[in-house]
Structure 1
Amino acid sequence: MHDDSAGPVGTDNAGDAGELRVLLAGDHFVRNDLLEDRLRQALPADAAARLDVRSMTLPWPMVPYGRVQEVDEASDVEDELLAQVGDVEVAVTQMAPFTRRVLEAAPSLGLIVCTRGGPVNVNVQAATERGIAVCNTPGRNAVAAAEHAVTLILAALRSIPRVHASVAAGEWRSDLYAYDECGLELGGSTVGLVGYGAIGRRVARILRAFDAEVLVSDPFVAADDLGPGVRLVDLDTLLAASDVVSLHARLTPETENLINSTTLAAMRPGSYLINTARGGLVDDQALAAALHSGHLAGAGLDVYPREPIPAGWPLLSSDRVVMTPHLAGATRQTAHRAAELAAASVAAFLAGERPPGMVNPEIAVAG
């Protein structure tokens, strides 16, 4: 194991020439010690013995990510990365900016594994042009994100932030037992899931354990691909019938502002909106208006159109919105699972097999 404690961005080199040169560009969430441990476990003993591991610790999440040259959601360490990639054959990272400039400085690089659901911090087109395989780790945070979505549903239905603030202020409000002040039970409620991928499917299983009725709207899912007690409907039917609408769709040009003034008006009066997917799925001004008018009873949000949230954002002052700072996937198990999935991709690639999570399958993998 290598010591990365020299600072927010530090490097360590080990091994002799001729060994398998691997760069671990972890951070303070998916850490290098986790990555190296899982990698050594996943490889055959002879391959593990050949590892020449170099590591650099990126400053995320202590320092927010952003756009770096042509890639997005990356740590601003392009120059530091350039100094490390010269003879590296395999790179594993979550936030390192693999820009065209970095890739051009890495003539030996054959594989980049990005420990996240989408490799937005990698210029995949430039990597493909250079014959570099790029993998992601889909599903790494499905358990965490699903549990967080259900947590937001429960917190919104029972107004947990509002009543917590009341108790913390020294109040003991018996008037909260009044019918109009009471929340809803999840059991017996109808919850509509917009999107039915790995996270949506797990949310559905949890909701069924609460005895909720589950509706799904997803154009890429067939009716016979649903679990027990889950029904496929069109979006209009889902919005009109659901007590809670929870978003689990990808952000695409087609889904941007999917929840807008029109779709919000189509939701059942007194219902709740939950978003743990992407902020761009929701028109936040329209959501603020729907909450202010009372058409929606509440919302639970983990993602926002602009992050960090700007001062004066209209929903910041609402006591009917439960907010968390894009933490749905942040569990220790997610970090471990990301390392395990990354190690499996590296092991497959080195064995001449097509690695799981490969996003540019046109790249040939040597046998």
Structure 2
Amino acid sequence: MTLRVLAAGDHFVQNRLFADALRREVPGEVEIRELTLPWPVVPFGRVGEVDEASDVEDELIEALRGVEVCVTQMAPLTRRVLSASPDLRLFGVSRGGPVNANLEAATEAGVAVTFAPGRNAVATAEHTLAMLLAATRRIPTTHADLATGVWRGDYYRYEMVGPELDGSTVGLVGYGAIGRRVSRMLAGFGARVLVHDPYVDLPGKVSLDELLTRSRFVSLHARATPETTGMIGAAEIARMPAGSVLVNCARGALLDYDAMCDALESGHLFGAAVDVFPEEPIPDGSRLLTTPNLVMTPHLAGASKETAIKAARIVSADVARYVRGEPLAHCANPAFAAS
């Protein structure tokens, strides 16, 4: 029997990557229908009751007619989509968390939702180190000066230069797949690593307060939850030693960005680097655009060719398990898995 699959890819996790992975992983006949979503050319947002999705409910409903399996990164799995797609049984989200899927409604509809944990761990860890070094060594600022014909020899003044990683203490807030990779990379630089993560059983982990007071560099790697939202604010930044560097390549909700800007403007923080923001894209007039010693990238820490390939492969492997009648490796709605 032919398995009908909708590949709802975009301009990052492309449909050809889904198609290649599906044909490699899934046994039997597979009929692949394609729908190309506009992300990242068009930013994601809230669609219906789900977050970080492309606004394509109508197009998705039409494309899902007669389809049993959908693999995607940004398609919105809303109650409206589910009610209009009675043949759908598996929805594979090729990202680290299926925030664009209504898991409660999917469970009620008998649709399993899978995702791709760890797909961008390597890319994000590498980007974190790049951001940390860029902020510490003032790489973007000095490059911009040179590009406009300005040679700033005064950057060599003692008070203008940053610290070395070798021999420094780096605090990692969160120790999942990305935090662990960052830790291994930092060991190669000769840094001492402290870890705070209440959800990980790790000998030697420390409290958040101890991490902040002892670390010259702090990098955030926690998930955004009600407990972690705003976990790094003015009081926490004040506990960091003067001249510290703060990095956030995790989630914008973890950090009070006004407090960070205040600390940069006062000089308490030597530098900061962020890849994620409380509002994306950054609105016109935001103080982030004028705060000194701040390095920014537009939420692309996980952007690598390998991330896209791994994302397609991980969800396609779960499609293969579904076809073979095996338990799914990365089912996001365990109530469905238990039924």
TM-score (norm 2): 0.97
> What corresponds to 2:79 in structure 1?
100
Cα separation, 1, equivalents of 2:85 and 2:148: 58
TM superposition shift of 1:171:
2.1
> What corresponds to 1:354 in structure 2?
327
- Per-residue Cα deviation, 1:177-211 (whole angstroms, up to 9, x for no partner): 22112222111111100000000000000000111
> What corresponds to 2:70 in structure 1?
91
TM superposition shift of 1:364:
4.5
Deviates more, 1:357-366 or 1:213-222: 357-366
Higher relative contact order (CA 8 A, sep 6+): 2
Letter matched to residue 90 of structure 1: V
> What corresponds to 1:75 in structure 2?
54
> What corresponds to 2:5 in structure 1?
22
1:146 counterpart SS class:
helix
Deviates more, 1:173-182 or 1:328-337: 173-182
- Per-residue Cα deviation, 1:252-276 (whole angstroms, up to 9, x for no partner): 1111111111101111111011000
1:252 counterpart SS class:
coil
Cα separation, 2, equivalents of 1:145 and 1:99: 29
Cα separation, 1, equivalents of 2:61 and 2:280: 28
- Per-residue Cα deviation, 1:193-241 (whole angstroms, up to 9, x for no partner): 00000000000000001111100000011234xxxxxx41111110001
> What corresponds to 1:191 in structure 2?
170
Letter matched to residue 259 of structure 1: I
Letter matched to residue 33 of structure 1: R
Contact map agreement 1:354 1:365 (CA 8 A) in 2: no
2:51 counterpart SS class:
strand
1:300 pairs, out of 273, 283, 287, with 273
Equivalent residues in 2 for 1:51-66, closer than 5 Å:
51-66=30-45
TM-score (norm 1): 0.90
TM superposition shift of 1:365:
8.2
Cα separation, 1, equivalents of 2:110 and 2:333: 10
> What corresponds to 2:311 in structure 1?
338
Contact map agreement 1:300 1:321 (CA 8 A) in 2: yes
Letter matched to residue 13 of structure 2: V
Cα separation, 2, equivalents of 1:120 and 1:64: 15
> What corresponds to 2:188 in structure 1?
209
Cα separation, 2, equivalents of 1:20 and 1:283: 47
Count, aligned residues: 339
In the alignment, structure 2 segments of 5+ residues that lack a partner are: none
> What corresponds to 2:290 in structure 1?
317
Cα separation, 2, equivalents of 1:64 and 1:147: 24
- Per-residue Cα deviation, 1:321-345 (whole angstroms, up to 9, x for no partner): 0100001001111000001101111
> What corresponds to 2:132 in structure 1?
153
1:276 lines up with 2:249 in the alignment: yes
- Per-residue Cα deviation, 1:290-313 (whole angstroms, up to 9, x for no partner): 111111111000001111111221
2:183 counterpart SS class:
helix
TM superposition shift of 1:78:
0.6
TM superposition shift of 1:36:
0.7
Cα separation, 1, equivalents of 2:288 and 2:41: 26
Q: What's the % identity of the aligned pairs?
A: 57
Cα separation, 2, equivalents of 1:284 and 1:365: 41
Which structure 1 residue ranges, 4+ long, deviate > 4 Å from structure 2? none
Deviates more, 1:193-202 or 1:154-163: 154-163
